[in-house]
Chain A
Amino acid sequence: MYKIITKKELAPKEKMFEIEAPDIAKKAQPGQFVILVIGEHGERIPLTICAYDKIKGTVSFAFHEVGKTTKELGLLNEGDCLRNVTGPLGNPSEIKNYGKVLCVGGSIMIAPLLLQIKALKNAGNSVTTILGARIKDVLFMEDEAKSISDKLHIATDDGSKGYKGLDFLKDLIAKENFDHCVTMGPVVMMKTVSEITKSCEIPTTVTLTPLMVDGMGMCGVCRVTVGGKMQFACVDGPEFDGHQVDFEELVKRQRMFLPEERVSSVLWEIGGCKCGRNKA
């Protein structure tokens, strides 16, 4: 069950798996996610779907090795199996012909953004893509993005490649008349993009990836405030109007379990826990 068919290294600590999951592949659409559990003692983590092959019966997702679970995931190889993968969860993206679309992707979420770009192109849109990363070494899928977009720009936090930061977006938006903006990436990036597009009145869709446990509406840990109302990212989203999201609150909620996540990660790395969970 849920065998890893291909494993790709996108950048240091950033990997992509293609797994066997025919039921999920059959129903998957851009914008949806899966919840996976690695083993017996594992937690449930959500990952956005970044490709699917309905004929082969596979779905793909990308992840950044940041905590215990993603690091453990990164050690698995082709042929290994995951205990459980549930999906496709969440509402699919609204794909239609907006006209000119600006797509801004950052770090690991670049992978699912490409799936979205393909769908937007198929719907007849003209797409300008911005790929963002901390530094140039962790940037990936540049060629693929170039081949599917009408225009491509690169931005890095330190300016090691392309533009430095996202300030250039203001000029770009002033020059080009975008009808819609789609942004997927770290919360801070989505917040910046949303602030810029709000001032220019460009409707903006953000994909939120808050903490989740069940991912199907049961626990409410993924609750976010959108337009002053409580929404669950798992069943009401994960896509929302970027101009309505309370990003400050989201950032705080994402950090709720940071100390525990660090403990878990460190213990796992030093192999200090004698309960055998490393083999889970």
Chain B
Amino acid sequence: MAETKPKPKPKIKKESIEMPKQAPKERVKNFNEVALGYDEEQAIEEANRCLQCIKPQCVSGCPVEVPIPEFIKCLRERRYAEGIATIKTKNALPAVCGRVCPQEEQCQVNCVVGRIGEPVSIGRLERYLADWEREHGLQIPEKAKPTEKKVAIVGAGPAGLTAAADLVKLGHRVVMFEALHLPGGVLVYGIPEFRLPKAIVRNEVNYIEKLGVDLRVGNQIGRTHTIPELMKGGFDAVFIGSGAGLPQFMGIPGENLGGIYSANEFLIRVNLMKAFQFPEYDTPLRLGKHVVVIGGGNVAMDCARSSMRLGADVCLLYRRSRDELPARKEEIENAEEEGLVCKFLAAPLKFIGDEKGWVKAMECQAMELGPPDASGRRRPIPIKGSDFTMETDTVIIAIGQTPNPIIQRTTEGLVVNPKHGTIIVDENGKTSLDGVYAGGDVATGAATVISAMGMGKNAAKAIHQYLTNKK
């Protein structure tokens, strides 16, 4: 306070420092990362915009409670190693969060600077420090004394990685089971390379492994081992973070025609299996010239932007209007800059195939907006007699995912929401079974990376408590 006294009005730039990006015309031809990150001087200049509030509002918006003013202070004083260590006391995946968190709805929405201009770009600063650490070598923090307690983490996605990191730092033995052949969950199979490079995910996972987490890939819990087997086989607690991996379809005629992908299938082929590098990689993807993506969330944007990079013209079909699009505004802007065409207030009725069983057109219906529904958004209502036909050769259905049912089906006594298939948990992530916790999309239904991480963190605290009390 004393140092600001001579100047009644601290000179704070109203505009945040822009982050350099690949130009739309260039980036739509490659899968390289779109946002390039700040350089050192840009980062310091942006960090200097932070008011270092005594009662920081930003932290209350962060699901994992990153000590935001503290790390920004380190950054502007060029104490980078300390800055990243400060973030990592709370967040094991800063390079991921700095890229894919919706900061505009979380920490940054509360930023006091935001009342006079643009809020401090907290996410970009977090990213800067995480990238600095990757270039300068990982630091491994000290761990608590070993506790002799053993925890199984099911799923190496955002929730599981966070819970694993917290629990291993507290001294517990942690084994993390991943069903796919690569760790990262949605960070590797879902989010595309140009938003989140896979080398960065790999690096974050390396950090978790270096903390001492024993990672076992290709191990599907519910099949290879079941939860009851783990609990009987020497684990003191289990955290289920198996995500929302089951794609939803529309239930309309023609959905099984060739050329119709679930968003999951499309993204798994492109991201996890690297079909964009076929035939160098073995997994193929057939994409036509006129791709229609159905849906309006971040997953739909990822599918649309990937398709454009693969050379297609892409139309997004959304049954509500622009105002109701659930995707991040930044993603919509990026996609439109890259050439995305949006068709609002329309939904498909059926798909029409050619003689080889490949989709060639879709019959659609126009919509108008009625009163708000349970989600608070205005409900789309079909307009009678408004049917029209759209030609297309590839359709990607991005209307949501529900939890994978395998664990629920193979774990007796685990209480599940009958409608959504989500595992029911209390505020600490505890399920109906003793010692079994869950968090992330498997408990909430499809949500964000950071909310899953928040639940992983929360459950880790509760598991630690449970293990400490259990003698």
List residues of A whose CB falls within 8 A of some B CB: 23-24, 27, 37, 41-44, 68-69, 83-89, 213-214, 216-221, 223-225, 230, 235, 249, 252-253, 256-257, 259-261, 263-264, 267, 273, 275, 277
Q: Please tell me if the beta carbons of A84 and B181 are within 8 angstroms of each other in the complex.
A: yes
- Mark contacts of B366-409 with chain A using CB atoms, 8 A cut-off: 1 yes-contact digit, 0 otherwise: 00000000000000000000000000000000000000111000
Q: Please tell me if the beta carbons of B356 and A267 are within 8 angstroms of each other in the complex.
A: no
In-complex Cβ contact of A249 among B256, B278, B280 (8 A):
B256
Residues of B within 8 A of A41 (CB): 274, 280-282
**Partner-binding segment picked from B119-127, B203-211, B257-265, B446-454:** B257-265
- Flag whether B269 is at the interface (Cβ < 8 A): yes
- Flag whether B189 is at the interface (Cβ < 8 A): yes
Residues of B within 8 A of A256 (CB): 258-259, 286
Mind listing 13 A-B residue pairs with CB under 8 Å? A44-B283, A68-B282, A69-B282, A86-B219, A87-B224, A88-B223, A88-B224, A213-B269, A217-B246, A219-B262, A235-B404, A257-B284, A267-B279
Q: Please tell me if the beta carbons of A213 and B280 are within 8 angstroms of each other in the complex.
A: no
- Mark contacts of B112-137 with chain A using CB atoms, 8 A cut-off: 1 yes-contact digit, 0 otherwise: 00000000000000000000000000
Q: Please tell me if the beta carbons of A86 and B179 are within 8 angstroms of each other in the complex.
A: yes
Residues of A within 8 A of B441 (CB): none
Number of interface residues of B (CB under 8 A): 42
Shortest CB distance A192–B (Å): 20
In-complex Cβ contact of B406 among A219, A224, A235 (8 A):
A235
In-complex Cβ contact of B264 among A220, A230, A263, A264 (8 A):
A220
Shortest CB distance B58–A (Å): 35
- Bound: A214/B281 CA distance, A: 16
Q: A89-B220, A218-B404 are in contact. List 14 more A-B contacts (CB 8 A).
A: A24-B224, A43-B273, A43-B281, A89-B223, A214-B245, A219-B262, A219-B268, A223-B256, A257-B284, A257-B286, A259-B286, A260-B286, A263-B279, A264-B282
- Bound: A74/B269 CA distance, A: 24
Q: Which of A68, A88, A260, A275: most chain B Cβ within 10 A?
A: A260
- Flag whether B17 is at the interface (Cβ < 8 A): no
Residues of B within 8 A of A249 (CB): 256, 357
Shortest CB distance A190–B (Å): 18
Residues of A within 8 A of B224 (CB): 23-24, 27, 86-88
Q: Please tell me if the beta carbons of B404 and A42 are within 8 angstroms of each other in the complex.
A: no
Given known contacts A44-B273, A260-B286, A216 and B220 CB-to-CB distance under 8 angstroms: yes
Residues of B within 8 A of A83 (CB): 181
Within 8 A of A (CB), among B258-315: 258-259, 261-262, 264-265, 268-269, 273-274, 278-286
Q: Which of B218, B280, B286: most chain A Cβ within 10 A?
A: B218
- Flag whether B255 is at the interface (Cβ < 8 A): yes
Given known contacts A252-B357, A261-B284, A87 and B223 CB-to-CB distance under 8 angstroms: yes
Residues of B within 8 A of A68 (CB): 282
Q: Please tell me if the beta carbons of B284 and A260 are within 8 angstroms of each other in the complex.
A: yes
Given known contacts A84-B181, A253-B256, A253-B258, A218 and B245 CB-to-CB distance under 8 angstroms: yes
Q: Please tell me if the beta carbons of A216 and B181 are within 8 angstroms of each other in the complex.
A: no
- Flag whether B201 is at the interface (Cβ < 8 A): no
- Bound: A259/B249 CA distance, A: 26
Q: Please tell me if the beta carbons of B218 and A84 are within 8 angstroms of each other in the complex.
A: yes
- Bound: A219/B279 CA distance, A: 21
Q: Which of B220, B261, B278: most chain A Cβ within 10 A?
A: B220
- Bound: A69/B285 CA distance, A: 16
